[in-house]
Amino acid sequence: MPVVYTEGVLEQYFCYYLELDPSVIQYQCQPLGYHYYFDDKKLSYTPDFKVLVDSDNGRVEVYYEIKQRKFIDDDFEVEFQAKRWPVNNAGMDLILVDDHFIMQQPKLSNLKRIYASRRRGLPADKMVSAVKEVFRDNSSLTADNLMKMLNITIGEVYQLIYYKEIIVDFEEEFGPEMTLWGK
């Protein structure tokens, strides 16, 4: 797995969103920049991320600018629209993501927890088969019930989530009481 170098903590945290978004095929931090015009000047700009996304319209590239909300004022908004124009003109988009979105809890903590579980590697085939069997008979279960039924740990539940063997709502607090669904 390649190392991603970011320019700050917000960008680092945004990578968790990208890593666990099933529509993201690949992403690049600090991609090649482009020029835009603002106040009768030709200026250069490098977005924070270029992301290849699998969408209903096929694969599309989307650029992202990561910014703390305290730095977003009217002047920023006007210049940001000028930065969006060349990208929009090429059939892509430049999206602003602020710290309020990235830092939302419990989602960020959940994403970090699940991403960390990738170190466990792929879940054993036997465990995956047992999970599929359990969810044939149950539309949903709490993590606690699944752990008791299969004699597995919460870490193994997180591992199953990371490898998309079970589904969970990242907006809800993670732990033994979280609701799980089969895929």
The tens digit of pLDDT for each residue in 41-50 reads: 999 999 999 9
What confidence score (pLDDT) does residue 183 get?
85
CATH of 120-182, one of 1.20.1440, 1.10.10, 3.30.450, 3.40.50: 1.10.10
Q: Report the pLDDT value the prediction gives residue 4, as an integer from 0 to 100.
A: 73
**Span 79-96, pLDDT tens digits:** 999 999 999 999 999 999
pLDDT, position 57: 81
Distance between CA atoms of 60 and 41, rounded to whole angstroms? 29
Per the prediction, the chain carries an average pLDDT of 95
| Sequence ranges of the domains in the chain | 9-102, 120-182
Helix, coil or strand: residue 20: coil
Residue 1 has pLDDT above 70, yes or no: no
Higher pLDDT, 5 or 162: 162
CATH classification number, 9-102, choose in 1.10.1740.10, 3.30.70.2860, 3.40.309.10, 3.40.1350.10: 3.40.1350.10
pLDDT digits (tens, 9 = 90+) for 151-167: 999 999 999 999 999 99
Backbone torsions φ then ψ of 43, nearest 5 degrees:
-120, 155
Which amino acid appears at position 25 of this protein? I
The predicted pLDDT at position 56 comes to 87
User: pLDDT: is 21 or 4 the higher one?
Assistant: 21
pLDDT class of 3 with cuts at 50, 70, 90: low
How does DSSP classify residue 172? S
Q: What is the dihedral of CA 47, 41, 93, 108, to 10 degrees?
A: 40
